[in-house]
Structure 1
Amino acid sequence: MMIIPLVNIILHRQSRCQRKNWIFLIVICISLLLSMLFPVRIADGLEFDFKYIPVFIAFFYIKPRYGLIVIGFLISVTFIVEIDKVLLTIINYFIISILFFSVYKRYHKSKLPFKLFTGIIFYLLIFGTRSIYLIQIGYIEDIPHLLSFSAISIVTLSAIIYLIEMNKLHVIMMEQLKNADKLNAISQLAASIAHEIRNPMTTIRGFLQLMKDEKNLTSNQGMFISLSLEELDRTHHIINDFLSLARPSSPLTESIPLSKIIFDTADFMRPYAVMSNVNIILNVEDNLLIAGNINECKQLFINVIKNGIEAMPNGGNLEIIAFQQSHLAIVEINDDGIGLSPLQLKQLGQPYYSTKTKGTGLGLMITFDIIKRMKGDYEISSTENEGTSFKITFPM
């Protein structure tokens, strides 16, 4: 069974491996096969094995469909090794699958103690059914064997879950450390050269403006000057983004009328939306109040709304929903644009990564940083060619 977490750790280090899930599935099936071929045999013809553990890991640590593949493999091996137990195996794992599906989403949103508790509780159900079976066939004296084997199984499953979860945490921390290093490098770069870049840019822009007003320019020369001015403006925005990252966070915290901020930002972005043939739809509750810096909050929503509009090159609807749920203020910004692939979704917010041709990736990076400073949380879900949903949660 310890092959499973070992391979999981190795695969997580192989960032370029495209078939991690299938490799992990094969290893899990090999562990399952070994467990079934070499069970613990005791008196009276009773056997115990670890086949529940690979099924649990495949279901919760790859995907449910892979868990069903492992169950299918288990039933196939049972058909070859112990054909008289096929029907019982099918019934048992049909029930287990239903239980697994019922807690799958909550399992992935929960912390380690809940995950350990879930694995143990499900195994205790198996222990209970096996105990009832032994009592019915008159093998009460074998219950201590079952008890000791179940204790070993629970320890084994708990160890595997713990090792996999610690590995996931380690990978996340390494990614955060890499991003922190990139952010630190960007901040130092911005602070050291932004001012030096701005001075010559201002001079160049001034001369180009003077040249643009000349009457003897050809149409091509006028076009070249206009393009140069546009690119200078874009460079100016990029420098501002760099400076936003380098600037220390404001210690000022005030009460922010979230509802009003959303309405004001939507009105501010509406002309840009009209130019892109996008209709902004608002469904915002009144009197939503949160804490933070009001200017940063405005910048946050401008960035997200602008991204939503630009994700719909052929026009569409951008829906902004804001409401209170318990002690939280929830804002959802939904577009029906081009959407994102799972790989693009994973890379969002990294410096220099952008799905836009002329993007730098700094806008979303600043957005995520502002949400973090306001003690908020965010969740992005997207489907290619269907749209993206950006959900932001703030404490009231």
Structure 2
Amino acid sequence: MSNPIRVYSVVGGFIVYEFVAELALHFFVMMMIPLSCFILYRRCMDTKTTILFAIANFAALFLTMSFPANISGNIHFDLKFIPLFIVFFYIRPAIGILFVVFIILFKSLVNPSEVLFLLLNYGIASVIFIIMSTFYKRFSFMQKIIFGACFYIPITLTRYLAIVRSGDTDEILNLIWFSIMSAITLTMVIYLIELNNIQLSMMVQLQNSDKMNAISQLAASVAHEIRNPMTSVRGFLQLIKSDNNLTEEQGMFISISLEELKRTDQIINDFLSLARPETKSNELISLTKTIEEVFSFMKPYANISNVLIECDIEQDLFILGNSHEMKQVLINITKNGIEAMQSGGSLTIKVYQSDGEGVVDIIDQGIGLSEQQLTQLGQPYYSTKTKGTGLGLMISFDIIKRMNGEYKIKSKERCGTTFSLLFPLVPAKDYRGISTKIS
């Protein structure tokens, strides 16, 4: 008597069981992962939401392992690889290791004879995942899909050997269905998570754009009106300070007032920089010369702050952009690095070329930044300094973008920060083709 639960049809001599429907059910279980990602990361990405996302992945892992798609005997399939993959590459490798431990413990209770095989299999996979986790973030969408699919090749081969050993060669078709369904599921999960990340990025950019527009309008309307009376106040204070009849305390008060007026003037300059219309310059800039000028300019400030500033500059590097704005970016980031070392230290500026790009590394030994602080850098009014406005870095990042460059920030609390600026280099053979002065 045939099994009433199974529905089958004959295709080329093979029987397609309800196994396909069971795999489809596992597909919808895996959809818990991108769904939870959409819900949890709709507003922000913090530690709490990351933990909840990890729990959602664990739930998907537990369900797919607890109710595998059985074929016959000990042959069964599940999609545990998918939540494991997502945890390693979209959360943290450390949590991925915990998932691996759970998988091995769970399997050892069901079939203790597989423990050594699982330790070897998942041990190798974990090492590869940890190594590749840094590079994975730089992959394009298609590269991420291909990378995930590559890991299903050895999984499929392992399943094939297990089926051949058991003598159930008629189940090869089910293995094919499993591989196809697994690849489709992983593709969908990666696609939906990446789509959510893109939407979050666009949302943040839109919010920052609104803030910048508001700041620009404010700057254009009031900056000059503030500067005019402030200049008069500064002039009178300087005249009063020159009076020999002032007490020491009065002189100190006037010096503090002048210092605060100077800081206010710098803030106004930052506002005016935002209010200026964007203009793309086509100057040929000597990156080497610009760094040398910034080094000479910042060296006295570094000495006052008990900071040793060093340079390692490669010669004959040229980029396109605005020399004044380039100096503004370099001075701002260098100044931030010096101020991050309140107890002194060493700041290194390295300039070199890599893959057709001019790279500027500004490395400090300061207090460093947390992951949350790194995500907020460059936002209006956000600063790690007590007297900072956050406008300096925001303007710097905008200038880098206008010069077709990019920036990377590596930092760890109490271990310092590295700012890497990358700009497309102008090849030496093209110098003469640019009809602008070299600055």
For the criterion TM > 0.5, the same-fold answer is yes
Which residue does the alignment assign to 2:332? 303
Alpha-carbon distance in structure 1 between the residues aligned to 2:136 and 2:144: 6
Q: 1:356 aligns with which of 382, 385, 388?
A: 385
Work out whether residues 280 and 402 of structure 2, in 8 Å CA contact, stay in contact via their aligned partners in 1: no
Alpha-carbon distance, 1:385 to partner: 1.8
Residue 208 of structure 2 corresponds to residue 179 of structure 1: yes
Instruction: Summarize the Cα distance change of 1:102–1:340 in structure 2 as closer, same or farther, 3 Å threshold.
Output: closer
Alpha-carbon distance in structure 1 between the residues aligned to 2:280 and 2:64: 58
Alpha-carbon distance, 1:14 to partner: 4.8
- Structure 1 residues 28-72: Cα deviation after superposition (integer angstroms, max 9, x where no partner): 222111111211122344211111111111111111111111111
Q: 1:232 aligns with which of 250, 261, 267?
A: 261
Which residue does the alignment assign to 2:397? 368
Alpha-carbon distance, 1:26 to partner: 2.1
Which residue does the alignment assign to 1:341? 370
Q: 2:199 aligns with which of 154, 170, 195?
A: 170
**SS in structure 2 opposite 1:70?**
helix
- Which structure 2 residues correspond to residues 1-396 of structure 1 after superposition, within 5 A? 1-15=30-44, 18-396=47-425
Which residue does the alignment assign to 2:437? none
Alpha-carbon distance, 1:177 to partner: 0.9
Instruction: Summarize the Cα distance change of 1:329–1:88 in structure 2 as closer, same or farther, 3 Å threshold.
Output: same
Aligned AA for 1:336?
Q
Instruction: Summarize the Cα distance change of 1:296–1:24 in structure 2 as closer, same or farther, 3 Å threshold.
Output: same
Aligned AA for 1:67?
G
Alpha-carbon distance, 1:179 to partner: 0.9
Work out whether residues 61 and 80 of structure 2, in 8 Å CA contact, stay in contact via their aligned partners in 1: yes
Work out whether residues 278 and 317 of structure 1, in 8 Å CA contact, stay in contact via their aligned partners in 2: yes
Alpha-carbon distance, 1:173 to partner: 0.9
Judge which range, 85-94 or 242-251, deviates more: 85-94
Instruction: Summarize the Cα distance change of 1:163–1:16 in structure 2 as closer, same or farther, 3 Å threshold.
Output: closer
Percent identity for Structure 1 against Structure 2? 51
**SS in structure 2 opposite 1:356?**
coil
Alpha-carbon distance in structure 2 between the residues aligned to 1:132 and 1:78: 19
- Structure 1 residues 132-183: Cα deviation after superposition (integer angstroms, max 9, x where no partner): 2222332221100111122111111111111111111111111111111111
Aligned AA for 2:134?
K
Aligned AA for 2:317?
L
Alpha-carbon distance in structure 1 between the residues aligned to 2:73 and 2:170: 10
Alpha-carbon distance in structure 2 between the residues aligned to 1:254 and 1:295: 10
Alpha-carbon distance, 1:227 to partner: 1.3
Alpha-carbon distance in structure 2 between the residues aligned to 1:132 and 1:390: 50
Alpha-carbon distance in structure 1 between the residues aligned to 2:190 and 2:151: 14
For normalisation by structure 1, the TM-score amounts to 0.96
Alpha-carbon distance in structure 2 between the residues aligned to 1:251 and 1:92: 54
**SS in structure 2 opposite 1:47?**
strand
Q: Point out where structure 1 has 5 or more consecutive residues left out of the alignment.
A: none
Alpha-carbon distance, 1:209 to partner: 2.1
Alpha-carbon distance in structure 1 between the residues aligned to 2:159 and 2:84: 18
Judge which range, 142-151 or 219-228, deviates more: 219-228
Q: Point out where structure 2 has 5 or more consecutive residues left out of the alignment.
A: 1-29, 426-439
Alpha-carbon distance in structure 2 between the residues aligned to 1:296 and 1:263: 15
Alpha-carbon distance in structure 2 between the residues aligned to 1:327 and 1:138: 56
Work out whether residues 312 and 338 of structure 1, in 8 Å CA contact, stay in contact via their aligned partners in 2: yes
Instruction: Summarize the Cα distance change of 1:183–1:214 in structure 2 as closer, same or farther, 3 Å threshold.
Output: same
Alpha-carbon distance, 1:214 to partner: 2.9
Alpha-carbon distance in structure 2 between the residues aligned to 1:115 and 1:105: 13
**SS in structure 2 opposite 1:176?**
helix
For normalisation by structure 2, the TM-score amounts to 0.87
Alpha-carbon distance, 1:220 to partner: 2.2
Give the aligned length: 396
Judge which range, 206-215 or 336-345, deviates more: 206-215
Aligned AA for 1:126?
I
Work out whether residues 334 and 389 of structure 1, in 8 Å CA contact, stay in contact via their aligned partners in 2: yes
Alpha-carbon distance in structure 2 between the residues aligned to 1:382 and 1:17: 17
Alpha-carbon distance in structure 2 between the residues aligned to 1:372 and 1:191: 22
Alpha-carbon distance, 1:304 to partner: 1.2
Work out whether residues 61 and 83 of structure 2, in 8 Å CA contact, stay in contact via their aligned partners in 1: yes
